[in-house]
Structure 1
Amino acid sequence: MPLAITADLVQRAREAHRGVAAFNVITLEHAEAIVLGAERASADVVLQISQNAVRFHGGRLEPVAAASLAVAAGAQVDVSVHLDHVDDVELLHRTADCGLSSVMFDASHLDYRDNVEATRAAAEWAHARGLFIEAELGKVGGKDGAHASGVRTDPDEADEFVSRTGVDALAVAVGSSHAMTDRSAALDIDLIATLADRLDVPLVLHGSSGVPDAVLAEAVRAGMVKINIGTILNTAFTGAVREVLGADEAVVDPRTYIKPGREQMAQVVQRLARIVGAV
């Protein structure tokens, strides 16, 4: 199928009162597994490449973007490619040249006023090039478990932020946390509903790997649209690789353990894409 546009996938999901899953790509096998799982689920998906993944590839966005775009273009479902969690302006400005249709610019580490100014400039740059841009307000937890109190997204502030920056989607802090390997995150569903009611742009949930399936579905019903998922794929992949290598120390061909790792990721994608997209 032709390469999809993130803005179209997000808008279509929002109008249908469902979600669209966005899965993190680190290697070619991630992209292949995500598309395979999405095809099994008959679901639209977003392949997203984070700034950290670009750093893993030596700071080179172009090769991993080209691979992801090729896998997306060959899919039997609609797939777009997105650049995620960028705070490096130079990397942001490489988005358009790589053929990606959307980017998440993250200035949430700045205080509110500076976040507004930096995000407004990023949005102006993106819109001049026809790119869909996501931003973040509040602080989604990092690698330290559930985020601290007092940093959840305030609805009044979010309304003003969207108006002043002109972003197309907003990642909000509602109880999830990045890099969780257990699924114990408790989301503030009432806050999600309030934000969805107040804002004219779709909401994005980061750190969704730590959220139980039933709570993900509840979050989409409350108004979440784009659901970002990463760590749970790595957990599945690594578990499968460990199992193969642990069973036979003589294995040296990486295809022997990468293939089951890719399959385990695909199974996770299939399940979560259905949960998010079927609500």
Structure 2
Amino acid sequence: MSQVVLITGCTEGGIGNGLCQEFINKGFKVYATARRIESMNDLEGCEKLALDVTDQQSIDSTVQRVIDEAGHIDILINNAGAPGVGALLDIDLDTARKCVEVNVFGLLAMSRAVAKHMAKRGSGKIANVGSIVGYASTPWAGIYAMSKAAVHSLTDTLRMELAPFGIQAVVIAPGSIKSNFGKNSTNMISIPEDSFYSSVAEFIYARANMSQGPHSTPTNVFAAYVVSKLLKRSLPRYITYGTNSFTFLLFYYLPFFIREFVLSRRLGVNQIKSIANN
């Protein structure tokens, strides 16, 4: 019987799409999902389903369809994500809420729906895509980093609460991986005319694309590494991989003043013009 994997956020050009390709190559029964099926036209050899992780009815119907067709789910990968780039004083609150709704509550809703089926079988793996900014937040990405830190924390709890049912939970923390996420992040930036941070607007836009530099890890390389870890009988608690991942792990353990000194200069905080007494 083929092993079954359900992956969210599989739009062409993204990490989820790359993970689908890797699992397909390894002979898995793959269910790829995204809000629009046409956004996954490049995928072949898998089932493609429309799924909105912020809609409980969509979640329930999708999970039930997979169970009806395949009988079970061996691995769930919660990859669907929304960007949240901008200064915390500026970012649109609806944008911020959407980021958290997709990245945190959508992930939790999917985990709840699938874990119930896994528990009845006494086995399963849930992999939640966090981020290296879940280890160390940066200027201009506070909302996104907050959501990913929540993913890390939530998964740590899931790991303990689901262990009695034979279900393993793991955080996937990508570094800088080639994907379409930088473009999506750039498109959502809005800097108000009266922003206190207008003088460093170029750094805010640069932050949106920071993961898409020339040295970013190719998606297929990242996917191959992650899948190799997910196929182990006993999962690591965290799978951290990709360009800049070591740096952010180091930031996690270093004193805050060192982290803040480096990031403030790297991302232009030290160049902000004061408005006091002006």
TM bin, normalised by shorter chain, reads 0.3 to 0.5
For CA contacts below 8 A with separation 6 or more, give which structure has more relative contact order. Answer: 1
The TM-score with structure 1 as length reference comes to 0.34
The TM-score with structure 2 as length reference comes to 0.34
Determine which structure has more spread, i.e. the larger CA radius of gyration.
2
